[in-house]
Structures are given as structure tokens and as C-alpha cells.
A and B are shown apart, each in its own frame.
Chain A
Amino acid sequence: MKRAPQEMPSDAGFQIAPMIDVVFVIMLFFMVMAGAVKVEHELKTTLPGNAETSTATEIPDEITIGVSENGQITINEDPVGTPQDKTLDGLFNEMTKLKQAAIQSGSKLLITVQAEEAARYERVINVLDVLARADINNVTFAVAEPE
């Protein structure tokens, strides 16, 4: 079998035009991907516990936010919003008011998020997210013992 003779180009140098094409395509890919990028955020809390101090300490205003198994949110056992409400605007308004009141009175605001054992983690995060939105940092998380 005879092979057709191949003509070698006189100058097979580096071609810039196809390289630019490829770089453009790769860049477009990353630009599109950058729009859909999902970043992990974190919501900071501390563990509830007893602090041993030798000096007298100011006792902060403590608010307990309950998260029930069906998704109902309560503030000191008073229901807020509905279990289906994801934005939790009612809770946000209450928290903003409490934050303002704490700033005006010069006291510290301490929030304890207490979830029932079978409460969904997503609902707990909804509450912690609202607290972050209301700029409340002094948050502890605990799970209620079954009665």
C-alpha cells in the first residue's frame, strides 16, 4: 500500500490565533462558572456553659428562641410566624427591636437557640441566619432534652 507523500510546511511555528481562540473559550467557561459559584458561609456560635469569674458580672438579657419539630419558631415560648415561613421576617423584626433596646439600655443581649431533638437542621440555620442578619453575635445553641 502506498502512502501519499506528506508535505511538510516550510515554517511550522507557534500559531497565535488558535491559542487566543482556546484561551477565549476557557475564559468564557470560567466567567460563566463564576456567576454560578456557591460559597460556603459560616454562622458562629458558642457552646452554652458556666463561666467561672472572681468578680461580679453583669447578667445579660437572655432570650430563648425555640425551634420545634414541625418548624414552629417561638420567642420565650410565644409563637412567631408560621412553620412554613422561611424568611422569618417576624422573628427578624422582634430581634431588631430587642437589639435596639439592648443598645439603648447598655445591656448585653444573649440569645439561646433551643431546638427540639427532631427539629430539622435547616430550620435551626434559618434562625441563626436571621440572628446574623439582625447583627446579633452573642448566640448559643442547645438541644432541648426530651421531657
Chain B
Amino acid sequence: MAGGGGGGDGEPEFQVAPMIDVLLVLLIFFMSITSSQVLKVDKNISLPVASHGVKRDDKAAAGLINISWDKTTGQAKYKLDDRELDPNDKDGIAKELQARKGTNDKYRLLIRADKECHAKYISKALEWAGEASIENIAFSGLNREE
């Protein structure tokens, strides 16, 4: 059986060009896996750990509600993507969610809430989802402790 490669008489030279190719490919790989999230997330929110959840699917259509927690006042603040919401405007929020959902039955509402937040504030976001006929709800958590 014939051996592959080689063929030269002298010492094999170190080739810089293929090494740069490999380096760049590795660089792009590591850059891509450390890339930021696509959805507009609120960085002030400290998420709880949900290590057994499924990896977030950013391709599927989803509305994102960020619920931050103010420790001093003990109140929650709501944001739809990066726009602040008035929690008393239930109809307005439901209409907006309904418009975003359209006819897509698989549309889901993604809730990113601070781990200190009380359940009644989560319930409010679920009410809006109910009003907008969104049945699929997903809660966000981190894969590991911060």
C-alpha cells in the first residue's frame, strides 16, 4: 500500500498560510459561541438557575417580557423587549401582544424575571398572555450559577 503525502527530498517546511487558516477558523468558532443574545434582554435582571431547561430557541417567534425587581420599593418593573410597560394598561398590553402573535399558534411569551421577584407579578404577565390568547409560556433561567 502506498503511503500518502510527502514526496520531497528535504526537511518538511513549516507552512504559515494553512496555520493562519486554522487559527482564523478557531477564532471565528470561539467568537460565535461567546456571542450575545439576539432578543433584547435586560442586563439588570438577576436570573435564577434552571440547569435542566432547554436551550433558548431564538429563531422561534416569541415576545419577551423582562420583569426587574426594585428591592427598595418591593415593586416590579415590566418591559416588553426594551420598552417600559404600564402594568395598569392591561388592555393596551394585551392588544400589542395579540398583534405580535397574529395567527401564529406557536407564538410564545418568554418571561425573564428577577429571582427576587414575587409570584404575583409573574401572574400579571400571565394574565396579559391569557388576554392575548398566548398559551405557550416559557420562563428563562441560567444554565449555571452567576
Task: Give A residues with C-beta under 8 Å from B.
Answer: 16, 19-20, 23-24, 26-27, 30-31, 33-34, 37-47, 49, 67, 115-122, 124-126, 128-130, 132-133, 141-143
A122 to B67, CA, bound (A): 13
- B121 (CB) vs chain A CBs: closest residue: A121
Smallest CB separation, A18 vs chain B (Å): 13
Contacts beyond the supplied A44-B108, A124-B139, A129-B53: 16 A-B pairs with Cβ under 8 Å: A20-B16, A20-B19, A23-B23, A23-B27, A27-B27, A37-B34, A38-B146, A40-B142, A41-B55, A44-B54, A120-B115, A121-B115, A125-B115, A129-B52, A141-B137, A143-B119
Smallest CB separation, A44 vs chain B (Å): 5
Smallest CB separation, B2 vs chain A (Å): 34
A126 to B20, CA, bound (A): 46
Q: Which of A16, A30, A43, A117 sits near B141, CB closer than 8 Å? A: A43
Task: Give B residues with C-beta under 8 Å from A.
Answer: 16, 19-20, 23-24, 26-27, 30-31, 33-34, 37, 41, 47-57, 108, 110, 112-120, 122-123, 126, 129-130, 134-144, 146
Cβ–Cβ < 8 Å partners of B138 in chain A: 42-45
Q: Is the CB of B56 within 8 A of A118?
A: no
A132 to B139, CA, bound (A): 12
- B37 (CB) vs chain A CBs: closest residue: A40
Smallest CB separation, B56 vs chain A (Å): 5
Smallest CB separation, B24 vs chain A (Å): 7
Cβ–Cβ < 8 Å partners of B50 in chain A: 41-43, 125, 128-129, 132
21 contacts between A and B (CB under 8 A): A27-B23, A27-B27, A34-B30, A37-B33, A38-B143, A39-B142, A39-B143, A40-B55, A40-B56, A40-B112, A42-B139, A43-B138, A43-B141, A44-B54, A44-B108, A47-B130, A118-B118, A121-B113, A128-B139, A141-B139, A142-B123
A1 to B121, CA, bound (A): 73
Known: A34-B34, A47-B129. A118 touches B119 (CB 8 A): yes
Cβ–Cβ < 8 Å partners of A46 in chain B: 135-137
A37 to B34, CA, bound (A): 6
